[in-house]
Chain A
Amino acid sequence: GENVEQHPSTLSVQEGDSAVIKCTYSDSASNYFPWYKQELGKGPQLIIDIRSNVGEKKDQRIAVTLNKTAKHFSLHITETQPEDSAVYFCAASAKAAGNKLTFGGGTRVLVKP
């Protein structure tokens, strides 16, 4: 089955700086790569996603890049703000596997004002 590795597990940045989280996946059949933000006591919320036919996607301060050959994808948050502090999960899924998501281990991001 799919295995997703995520690094780093914790990330502390100064407000205004950029944050980068990296993930690798193992199943070459995976074709959908979402990123979720989870705040304390809440369910994961999708913040951005990318499909295997695209190399990069951007939405305001958030961008995701995908290297399908190397099987890794990254989340970039620019101009970080205190409200960006949360746990971020990458995930991967394949339509052939019923779109079941396999999550990375999570990154706890702390943005210091």
Chain B
Amino acid sequence: AAGVIQSPRHLIKEKRETATLKCYPIPRHDTVYWYQQGPGQDPQFLISFYEKMQSDKGSIPDRFSAQQFSDYHSELNMSSLELGDSALYFCASNKQGETGELFFGEGSRLTVL
């Protein structure tokens, strides 16, 4: 079965640079969630989109933005990168109205030098 696809899997950037992460949800899923997981930490909710509209916002820095496109894929844009942005970024998807289960991708590891 198709899973959530994230790209790139690994990304290395310098401080103050920008980065874009992409997420392709499971077909038929209409909701995408972004999470940030620091080393040894639990995943922290950043933002979610339902039917291309932002549905909820968590601890996402103002330097970050995201959107969901007409094909339901989502992109997380991160600017003015800081060392503390180094983390695993997970995307999850589900279909509203079905079970609450979120299906997670394998994550994108961002390293800021």
Interface residues of A (CB under 8 A from B): 31-32, 34, 36, 41-46, 49, 51, 89, 93, 95, 97-106
Contacts and interface: CB of A to CB of B under 8 A. Distances in A.
B23 to A, nearest CB: 11
Interface stretch (B61-69, B76-84, B96-104): B96-104
7 contacts: A32-B99, A43-B4, A44-B104, A99-B96, A100-B56, A101-B33, A101-B45
Given A43-B106, A43-B107, A46-B101, A104 B48 contact: no
B38 to A, nearest CB: 12
Interface in B28-87: 31, 33, 41-45, 48, 50, 55-56, 58
A89 B100 contact: no
A34 B105 CA distance: 16
Contacts of B103: 46
- Name the interface size band of chain B: 20 to 34
Contacts of B102: 34, 46, 99, 101
B24 interface: no
Smallest CB-CB A-B distances: 3 pairs: A32-B100, A43-B104, A103-B42
B90 A95 contact: no
Contact of A43 (B50, B58, B90): B90
